[in-house]
Chains A and B, each alone.
Chain A
Amino acid sequence: MATGPVIYGLMAEFTSPEALVAAAERAHREGYRRLDAYSPFPVEGLAEAIGFHRNLLPLLVLLGGIVGASGGFFLQYWFHVLDYPMNIGGRPLNSWPMFIPVTFELTILIAALAAVLGLLALNGLPMPYHPVFNVERFELASRNRFFLCIESRDVKFDAAATRRFMEDLNPQGVYEVEP
Chain B
Amino acid sequence: MANELEKTLAAEEIAPVIEPGYTYASITDKISAIVLTRPTPRVWYVGFAFSFLLVLLLLFGITYLLTVGVGIWGINIPVAWGFAIVNFVWWIGIGHAGTLISAILLLMRQKWRQSINRFAEAMTLFAVMCAGLFPLLHLGRPWYFYWLFPYPSTMDIQPQFRSPLVWDVFAVSTYFTVSILFWYVGLIPDLATLRDRARNRFPRFAYGMLAMGWRGSAIHWHRYETAYLLLAGLATPLVVSVHTVVSFDFTIGLVPGWHSTIFPPYFVAGAIYSGFAMVLTLAIPLRKIYGLEDFITLRHLKNMGEVMLATGLIVAYGYLMEGFMSWYSGSPYERYLMFYRMHGLYRYMFWALLVFNIVIPQALWFLRVRTSPLALFAIAICVNIGMWLERYVIVVVSLSRDFMPSAWGTYSGTVWDYAIFIGTIGLFLTLMLVFVRLLPMISIFEMRGLLHAEEGAEPESRPQG
Contacts and interface: CB of A to CB of B under 8 A. Distances in A.
Interface stretch (A1-9, A12-20, A156-164): A12-20
B12 interface: no
A142 interface: yes
A52 B225 CA distance: 14
B434 interface: no
A130 B222 contact: no
B25 A58 contact: no
Interface in A2-56: 15-18, 24, 36-43, 46-47, 49-50, 52, 55
A68 B256 CA distance: 36
B181 interface: yes
B155 to A, nearest CB: 11
A19 to B, nearest CB: 9
Contacts of A139: 196-197
Contacts of B234: 61, 108, 111-112, 115
Interface string B196-229: 1100000000000000111111111111111100
Contacts of A58: 226, 230
Contact of A41 (B167, B182, B248, B448): B448
Given A38-B217, A128-B213, A143-B196, A55 B241 contact: no
B366 interface: no
A105 B170 contact: yes
A80 B231 CA distance: 31
Interface string B415-452: 00000000000000000000000000000011011001
B212 A116 contact: no
A143 to B, nearest CB: 5
B218 A98 contact: no
Contacts of B449: 41-42
Contacts of B221: 39, 41-43, 46-47
A85 B365 CA distance: 56
B219 A116 contact: no
A63 interface: no
Given A115-B230, A143-B196, A38 B174 contact: no
A101 interface: yes
Contacts, number: 193
B178 interface: yes
Number of contact residues on A: which range applies?
35 or more
A41 B446 contact: yes
A59 B166 CA distance: 30
Contact of A15 (B217, B225, B460): B460
B223 A123 contact: yes
Contacts of B292: none
Contacts of B192: 142
A175 interface: no
B193 interface: yes
A16 B24 CA distance: 10
A107 B439 CA distance: 31
Contacts of A143: 24-25, 28-29, 193, 196-197
B237 interface: yes
Interface string A128-148: 111011000011111110000
A56 to B, nearest CB: 8
A126 B122 CA distance: 23
Which secondary structure characterizes the binding site on chain B? helix
A79 interface: yes
A66 interface: no
B218 A46 contact: yes
Contact of B166 (A61, A102, A125): A102
A142 B458 contact: no
B218 A95 contact: no
A144 B213 contact: no
A144 B24 contact: yes
B161 A142 contact: no
Contacts of A141: 196, 215-216
B215 A130 contact: yes
A54 to B, nearest CB: 10
Nearest to A133: B215
A16 B461 CA distance: 10
Interface of A: 15-18, 24, 36-43, 46-47, 49-50, 52, 55, 57-58, 61, 75-76, 79-80, 83-84, 95, 98-99, 101-102, 104-106, 108-109, 111-113, 115-116, 118-120, 122-123, 125-130, 132-133, 138-144
22 contacts: A16-B458, A16-B460, A37-B217, A38-B217, A40-B24, A47-B218, A47-B219, A57-B226, A80-B161, A105-B238, A108-B174, A108-B237, A108-B241, A109-B174, A116-B227, A120-B212, A125-B213, A132-B215, A142-B189, A142-B195, A144-B24, A144-B448
Interface of B: 23-25, 28-29, 150, 156, 158-159, 161-162, 164, 166-167, 170-171, 174, 177-178, 181-182, 184-185, 189, 192-193, 195-197, 212-227, 230-231, 234-235, 237-238, 241, 245, 248, 445-446, 448-449, 452, 457-458, 460
Given A98-B161, A142-B216, 18 more contacts: A18-B458, A38-B217, A39-B216, A40-B216, A40-B445, A41-B189, A55-B223, A57-B226, A57-B227, A83-B158, A95-B162, A101-B164, A101-B171, A105-B170, A115-B230, A130-B215, A138-B215, A142-B189
